[in-house]
Each structure stands twice: as structure tokens, then as C-alpha cells.
Amino acid sequence: MYLNLNRVMIALMYGMVLVDMMTGYQLIANPDLNFTPGIFYKLLLLILLFYFMPRLNPLVMVVNILLYTTTLFSSLLSDISTIPTNIINASKFLMFITFFYYLTFLSKRNVINNRTLYNIALFTYVVIIINQIFGILGFGKATYMVNGIPVGTSGFFFEHNATGIVLLIVSAIIYMYRRNSISNIKLLSFAILTLIIGFSFATKTAIIGSVIIALIAFYDRQRKYLPLVVGLGAVLIMLNWGVIQETGQVSKVIDQMDQDESNALLSGREDRFVKGTNDYFVKFTFLEKAIGIGSYRFVNEDNGVGGSSEIDFIDILKISGLVGFIVVYIPFLWISYLCLHHYRRYKIKEFAIVLVLNIVFLVISSTAGHLFPSGSVTFYLALLNAYPFYVLNGKLDS
């Protein structure tokens, strides 16, 4: 049964991207849909993980019990009918730590190796590419609509920001697996393809992120080609800018990016930070500061207490309080520290790459948001952070 459950879990990991696409297709048709296949799919994954939880790091059990208990308590204080919604959304905050320790658990017991993680990443990468091709051909969802003119596409994925981040994560895993064997021509082709797909989302997160992935790859492997990558990125930016200019709506597109794409990656951060912190520190009671108000009130109340600031750590403080903040950020920072420590000790470059990307993702979560509150993103983030530990275990075993 133990081995069979592991096989089921691995199969479910492959299916994550397909379920997200199916969910997106349903949300495009009905944006007000409350319970989607993606929600039930991720809950199934977490329920199955409870079987393995006693075998994982004790920290995993502690944070799961702590967050579910405080979420249940905050729901009872407001409205008992909000319990299902609040529990489901709190589960998203647990995806990273739970899956990270589950994946490292599998590695230590040689159930799977880093090739399995690579295969999951490659499958996801291919699905996203196919999805973007359909999106470019006019199927699915435009990233923005400006006066009836579509700008960018996320195809059949509903959350363009989250999907763009997933693209960056799986690209990084693919590169790390192939970094010692890929030829320069294939590396350049991979970088160009990732840049084109990233730019097709027309979101600042995906555009900047795909350039960062390409820069990391060439800085690691072929620094002499860095000017070529920078030049290619500049050309793609100019091409995108040219397309936007053809719409005759340059300023409106920029405004739309600022409003729709998490209130902008590069602007409006100060206003959102001030408002979000003011909401939390001034309008919340002591108990609400500790355990949050739950996702239901966060989404539905329009009185200064609810409402997203599009800054992850503020939104997490509002939804799950200081408890949620600790559950999300302390494990992430600890694992990032382990990457730094292991890189210094073992000189495994994959640890350095993941550390750099974790810093990038922290910046994204604090400016564009929608990273840690996304169950899809945090699953792939766990995959990324587990990867160098698989490399380390492989070297120690050999």
C-alpha cells in the first residue's frame, strides 16, 4: 500500500498542470464558480499526504495542526458557514512546506530521483507551451482586453500571473537537470523558447522572470553569450512594444497592466503597502492580528478589513494572521538558508541557483503577489526547492 500510494501521488503531481488548465477553462466560462476541480484536486493531494505526515519532519505536522486549528477558530468567531471556504484556502499556505518535506522524504528513501522531478517539470513545460500556442491562435483567455483588443494570452489557464511563475519554475528545473549535458545550441534554443513563451503572457512577472531564467542559465554555463541574451530580450521587448503601439492604446495597456496584473510589479507598491499595513495594524483586533479573519471575510468584506493589497505577506497576515505568516515564511526562509549552507559546504551549484530564484520569488511575492496564496505555484516551488537536495543525495549515495 505504501508504494502504491507513492505512485498515486507521483501521478497526481504530473496531472496538476492539466487540472489547472481544466479549472481555467471552467472559470473562463463561469468566473463566479466557487468550487473548482483544482480545489478538490489539491485537497486530495493534501489528504493523501496526511498518511505520510507522521514519517515527515515533525515541523510539518505541527504547522498543519496549528494553521487548521486557528483557521477553524477564526471561522467560528465570524460565521460557521465560512469554515469550508476558509479551510480550503488555508490549505494553499501549507502546500509548500508539506510537499517539500514529502519530496525530500521520497529522495532519502530512494523512491524517486531527480529525473522524476525533471520529468514532471518537462511535462508541465510542454503543456504550457501547447496552451500558449492555442492562446496565440485565439483560443482561451486574453491576459488583457483594452477597448476590445486582446493583449497577451494565458490560453486556458485562468490565472496568468500564477501560470507565468510556474513557467519560470519548471524552466529552472529543466535547466538544472540538463546544465551539464546540454549543448550551447540547445541551451540557446531553450532560452529563446522560454523567453518567447514568457513574453506571450504579456505580464511583467513572466517577462522579467523569463529574462532572469535565461540570464542565470548563461551566466552559469556560457557567460560570453550574455550580451546575446540581453540583446534578444531587448528585441522581444521592442516587438511587444510595437504590437502594443499598433493598438494605438499604449497608455491604456500600461494602465491595464498596472491594475489587472496584481496592481503592477513596478508601480503602486508604496500605496498598497501603506494601505495594507494600516488595515492590519489599525483596523484588526488583537485576536484578528494573531489568527486572521479567514479568506471568506478577506474576499467579501469591503470595509477596509477585507480586500487584497496584492502583497503576499500583508494578504497572508489578513487571512491567517501572524500564525499564517510564520507558517508560510519561516519554513521558506529556513530552506533558503539551507540552500546557502549546502552550497558553501558541498559546492553544488543547484543550491545557488535555487537560492537566487527564492530571492526573486520573495521580491515577486512582495510586489506582484499571488505567489504563496496560490496552491499551484507553491507546489512547483516545493518541487524547485527539493531538486538540489535530490542532487545532493545522489552524490552522497555515490
Same domain, 127 and 196: yes
218-231 pLDDT, tens digit per residue, is 777 665 555 655 55
Percent of the chain scored above 90 by pLDDT? 40
Spatial separation of the C-alpha atoms in residues 85 and 162, rounded to whole Å:
20
pLDDT at 356: 92
Spatial separation of the C-alpha atoms in residues 37 and 245, rounded to whole Å:
39
Same domain, 271 and 257: no
Q: Which of 39-43, 306-310, 365-369, 375-379 has the lowest mean pLDDT?
A: 306-310
| Structural domains in the chain (count) | 2
Angle at which helices 37-52 and 375-397 cross, to 10°? 40
Q: Domain span at residue 131? A: 123-261
pLDDT at 253: 47
pLDDT at 96: 94
Give a yes or no: residue 18 inside a domain.
Answer: no
Decide: helix, strand or coil at residue 362. Answer: helix
Give a yes or no: residue 339 inside a domain.
Answer: yes
pLDDT at 15: 95
Which residue, 237, 261, 285, sits at the end of a domain?
A: 261
321-366 pLDDT, tens digit per residue, is 999 999 999 999 999 999 999 999 999 999 999 999 999 999 888 8
Same domain, 313 and 257: no
29-33, 204-208, 361-365: range with highest mean pLDDT? 361-365
List of residues 6+ apart from 50 with CB closer than 8 A: none
83-124 pLDDT, tens digit per residue, is 888 888 888 899 999 999 999 999 988 889 999 999 999 999
Give a yes or no: residue 47 inside a domain.
Answer: no
* pLDDT beyond 50 at 377: yes
pLDDT at 115: 95
* pLDDT beyond 80 at 267: no
What is the mean predicted confidence (pLDDT) over 296-307?
68
pLDDT at 261: 46
* pLDDT beyond 90 at 184: no
Which residue, 234, 261, 288, sits at the end of a domain?
A: 261
pLDDT at 232: 57
* pLDDT beyond 80 at 313: yes
pLDDT band at 251 (very low <50, low <70, confident <90, very high): very low
Give a yes or no: residue 12 inside a domain.
Answer: no
Q: How many helices and strands in the chain, by DSSP H and E?
A: 16, 2
Same domain, 256 and 138: yes
Same domain, 80 and 100: yes
Quick one: CA torsion of 98, 90, 379, 196, rounded to 10 degrees? Answer: -160
CB neighbours (10 Å) of residue 327? 25
pLDDT band at 250 (very low <50, low <70, confident <90, very high): very low
Give a yes or no: residue 1 inside a domain.
Answer: no
Same domain, 92 and 222: no
List of residues 6+ apart from 117 with CB closer than 8 A: 103, 173, 177, 383, 386, 387, 390
Same domain, 154 and 103: no
pLDDT at 389: 96
Percent of the chain scored above 70 by pLDDT? 81
pLDDT at 1: 55
* pLDDT beyond 90 at 30: no
Give a yes or no: residue 8 inside a domain.
Answer: no
Same domain, 171 and 214: yes
pLDDT at 279: 73
Give a yes or no: residue 20 inside a domain.
Answer: no
pLDDT at 263: 42
Which residue, 193, 226, 261, sits at the end of a domain?
A: 261
Same domain, 328 and 379: yes
What is the mean predicted confidence (pLDDT) over 255-275?
50
Give a yes or no: residue 7 inside a domain.
Answer: no
* pLDDT beyond 80 at 282: no
Same domain, 299 and 383: yes
Higher pLDDT, 262 or 101: 101
Residue type, 193: L
pTM: predicted TM-score of the whole model, two decimal places: 0.88
What is the mean predicted confidence (pLDDT) over 155-166?
91
pLDDT at 228: 56
- For residue 242, with 0-12 CB atoms within 10 Å meaning exposed, 13-18 middle and 19 or more buried, which class applies? exposed
Same domain, 131 and 257: yes
Same domain, 205 and 219: yes
* pLDDT beyond 50 at 29: yes
Higher pLDDT, 361 or 270: 361
Spatial separation of the C-alpha atoms in residues 58 and 62, rounded to whole Å:
6
Q: What is the mean pLDDT of the chain?
A: 83
